[in-house]
Amino acid sequence: MLDPTIYKDWQIAEEAEKSLPPVAEFCENMGLKPDEIIPYGRTPKLNFIRIMDRLKDKPDGKYIEVTAITPTPLGEGKSTTSLGLIEGLGKLGKNVGGCLRQPSGGPTMNVKGSAAGGGNALLIPMTEFSLGLTGDINDIMNAHNLAMTALNARMQHERNYDDEKLASIGLKRLDIDPERVEWSFVLDFCCQALRKMEIGLAEGKMNGYRMTTRANIAVSSELMAILAVARDLKDLRERIGRIVLAYDKKGDPVTTEDLEVAGAMTAWMRNTINPTLCYTVEHQPCLVHAGPFANIAIGQSSVIGDRLGLKLFDYHVTESGFAADIGFEKFWNVKCRLSGLKPNCSVLVATVRALKMHGGGPEVVPGRPLPEEYTRESLSLLEKGCENLFHHVKNVKKSGIVPVVCINRFHTDTDAEIELVRSLCKAQGVRCALSEHWRYGGEGAMELAKAVVEACEEETDFKPLYPLEMPLRERVELIAREVYGADGVDWAPLALEKARRFETDPKYADYCTMMVKTHLSLSHDPKLKGVPKGWRLPIMDILEYGGARFLCPMAGAISMMPGTGSNPAYRRVDVDTETGRVLGLF
């Protein structure tokens, strides 16, 4: 084990990869059959259908979800904690694994860097994980952009051909309204210059249809949301066929099925339904499936990945994106409703750094040094900030499952600060565990692992916050009050008009409510830290995801194409031309 205060993550990953058993041996030790493995070098895909068919009668393992308090912009280590917990449970001799989401190339090459965890709680092979893995995001990009290609081509041909000509090649006029094209192109980098663009500018009627469009980041595609919730290939194909790309001039939806492109999109994505096998640096298995972007999409590792993990492992760890008001709320009311799975406990990750910020500490800015308040002892800031922690604890308890607070320790945290958080949790009757997985791996996560095992033995009464029969506006009001702590909801005219239409159309009766708001505050305003009081949630618009079957109320403007910062990670990434090794990933 290397000391992460001295060595970089990529160096720790390289050292761990040297002793990784051969793939065939590792899979055999997991109990997998040769025909259940789809070779992809050190990161094979697992044949979901074959494994589930063989293990369909096997009881599920314990289901553990990892979430967090409201984070600083630097994040509070949910992926690192998930991997550390897997390693800690491994140290206890448990048959354990997990499922994490594949990182986007945008953050990896931008300010955030890889989402592979860190220190000695790291996913390997780190380079492959960080740079495309087995191609799921690439397949999503191709399928998504194929739909946009088909849409623009159809608009061109309908402009150029009369009805008789269209009929002669088996087409009927869709009469797409160019002002109501809902989809965009996608790219898996943070390219703010593509947030708005004009296409079809070349002269000549066969050079496309001129229109204003944009490019969003690939992982925000509805196809990623569909992959996260699909139960199998058949379900994936049906959901892709229901995607609404645009509306016609009468206001009726134009779907991928109308464009006859849904089948080809599914062909591009056929292999994405099979999770990819990766490993912790201590050589426990960890599946990778679906992707990030929790504030606009579902932000969860997939239903398929969790169903598979619960059959393969006695303890299965899954992660929800961002804080518990976003990630856990969607896990609770959307993912578990769709999967039918019931968790045994939820690990709520907290850091002294973030708690101090919520207690009134200075602004934390990515790319800048941390203010000294975060690296020296400050018990008053810490105690005040714990209000945010206990707000999230209360929400987890509302679901009927057991929370375990994990203090994810940084090397600058003092013993007095750790003891203060412990004592406050004890006073609230909340199970709390210190974890030093970043520095010590599984050994450092033993206290957390033992607390999780204990929590998994407690009785649960897991239930959603609201029934599907509840009208959309009532659901939003309930989430705003009960989860965020708002005094109520204010509807902009556009959002109100859409809400009324969705509530009166039976087509939308079983659509899930996928809230969209900032992850940096319990409120819609990222500047409001701690537990804001005396505020109302503004809903500006509602997005419709017809394939995923989501209605997405938007609390403020959310950019679906992040921007690249002034000091991006790609400046430090290179290749050793002698060995081919990638250097500088973190």
CA torsion, points 407, 411, 413, 415, in degrees to nearest 10? 90
Q: How confident is the model at residue 477 (pLDDT cuts 50, 70, 90)?
A: very high
| Distance in angstroms (rounded) separating the CA atoms of residues 182 and 130 | 30
Q: Across the strands, what pairs with 42?
A: 40
- Given a contact cutoff of 8 angstroms between Cβ atoms, the answer to whether 435 and 66 are in contact is no
- Pairing assessment for the beta strands 402-408 and 345-350 based on DSSP bridges: parallel
| Distance in angstroms (rounded) separating the CA atoms of residues 467 and 473 | 13
Taking the CA atoms of 420, 423, 427 and 430 in sequence, report the sign of the dihedral they define. positive
Query: Over 90: is that where the pLDDT of 107 sits?
Result: no
pLDDT value at position 525?
95
Span 411-418, mean pLDDT? Answer: 96
pLDDT value at position 224?
94
| Distance in angstroms (rounded) separating the CA atoms of residues 361 and 367 | 18
- Pairing assessment for the beta strands 431-435 and 402-408 based on DSSP bridges: parallel
Query: Over 70: is that where the pLDDT of 497 sits?
Result: yes
- Given a contact cutoff of 8 angstroms between Cβ atoms, the answer to whether 1 and 120 are in contact is yes
Query: Over 70: is that where the pLDDT of 45 sits?
Result: yes
- Given a contact cutoff of 8 angstroms between Cβ atoms, the answer to whether 349 and 66 are in contact is yes
| Distance in angstroms (rounded) separating the CA atoms of residues 9 and 188 | 23
Query: Over 90: is that where the pLDDT of 305 sits?
Result: yes
Q: How confident is the model at residue 558 (pLDDT cuts 50, 70, 90)?
A: confident
- Pairing assessment for the beta strands 211-213 and 489-491 based on DSSP bridges: unpaired
H runs (alpha helix) in 273-412: 303-312, 329-330, 336-339, 352-358, 379-398
Query: Over 90: is that where the pLDDT of 299 sits?
Result: no
Backbone angles phi, psi at 435, to 5 degrees: -135, 130
Tokens representing residue 456 in the block: 């998994």
State the chain's mean pLDDT as an integer.
95
Across the chain, which distance is largest between two alpha carbons, in Å? 80
Query: Over 80: is that where the pLDDT of 218 sits?
Result: yes
> Please, what is the Cα angle at 273 between 270 and 279, to 5 degrees?
130
For 125: left if phi > 0, alpha if psi spans -120 to 50, otherwise beta; the answer is beta
Q: How confident is the model at residue 479 (pLDDT cuts 50, 70, 90)?
A: very high
pLDDT value at position 308?
98
Query: Over 70: is that where the pLDDT of 33 sits?
Result: yes
DSSP count for the chain of H helices, then E strands: 21, 26
Q: Which amino acid is present at 504?
A: T
pLDDT tens digits, one per residue of 343-395? 999 999 999 999 999 999 999 988 788 999 999 999 999 999 999 999 999 99
| Distance in angstroms (rounded) separating the CA atoms of residues 232 and 56 | 14
The CATH number of domain 473-554 is 3.40.50.2000: no
pLDDT value at position 295?
54
The DSSP element (H or E) to which 165 belongs, if any, is helix 163-168
Three-state SS at 543: strand
pLDDT value at position 121?
97
* Catalytic site positions: 78, 80, 101, 112, 294, 322, 410, 438
| Distance in angstroms (rounded) separating the CA atoms of residues 405 and 345 | 11
Q: Establish whether domains 9-135+272-456 and 473-554 are of one fold.
A: no
pLDDT value at position 255?
97
**Where in the chain are the domains?**
9-135+272-456, 136-268, 473-554
pLDDT value at position 584?
85
Span 151-171, mean pLDDT? Answer: 95
pLDDT value at position 567?
87
pLDDT tens digits, one per residue of 187-198? 999 999 999 999
| Distance in angstroms (rounded) separating the CA atoms of residues 111 and 537 | 29
Query: Over 60: is that where the pLDDT of 297 sits?
Result: yes
Residue 534 half-sphere exposure toward CB, CA atoms < 13 A: 0
Altogether, the residues listed in the chain come to a count of 586
Tokens representing residue 546 in the block: 């017809």
> pLDDT: is 586 or 415 the higher one?
415
pLDDT tens digits, one per residue of 520-546? 999 999 999 999 999 999 999 999 999
Q: How confident is the model at residue 84 (pLDDT cuts 50, 70, 90)?
A: very high
Least reliable range by pLDDT among 106-110, 286-290, 546-550: 106-110
- Given a contact cutoff of 8 angstroms between Cβ atoms, the answer to whether 65 and 516 are in contact is no
Distances in Å between the Cα of 117 and the Cα atoms of 125, 129, 137 are 12, 11, 19
pLDDT value at position 294?
53
> Please, what is the Cα angle at 55 between 100 and 318, to 5 degrees?
15
Which CATH number, 3.90.1150.150, 1.10.10.10, 3.40.50.300, 3.30.1600.10, labels domain 9-135+272-456?
Answer: 3.40.50.300
Span 127-153, mean pLDDT? Answer: 96
> pLDDT: is 297 or 52 the higher one?
52
The CATH code of the domain at 136-268 is 3.30.1510.10
Residues whose CB is less than 8 angstroms from the CB of residue 435 and which lie 6 or more positions away in sequence, other chains included: 81, 84, 85, 88, 406, 407, 408, 409, 444, 445, 447, 448
Distance spanning both ends of the chain, measured CA to CA = 17
> pLDDT: is 295 or 560 the higher one?
560
Query: Over 70: is that where the pLDDT of 296 sits?
Result: no
Q: How confident is the model at residue 246 (pLDDT cuts 50, 70, 90)?
A: very high
| Distance in angstroms (rounded) separating the CA atoms of residues 86 and 66 | 11
pLDDT tens digits, one per residue of 55-75? 999 999 999 999 999 999 888
Q: Across the strands, what pairs with 369?
A: none
| Distance in angstroms (rounded) separating the CA atoms of residues 250 and 445 | 59
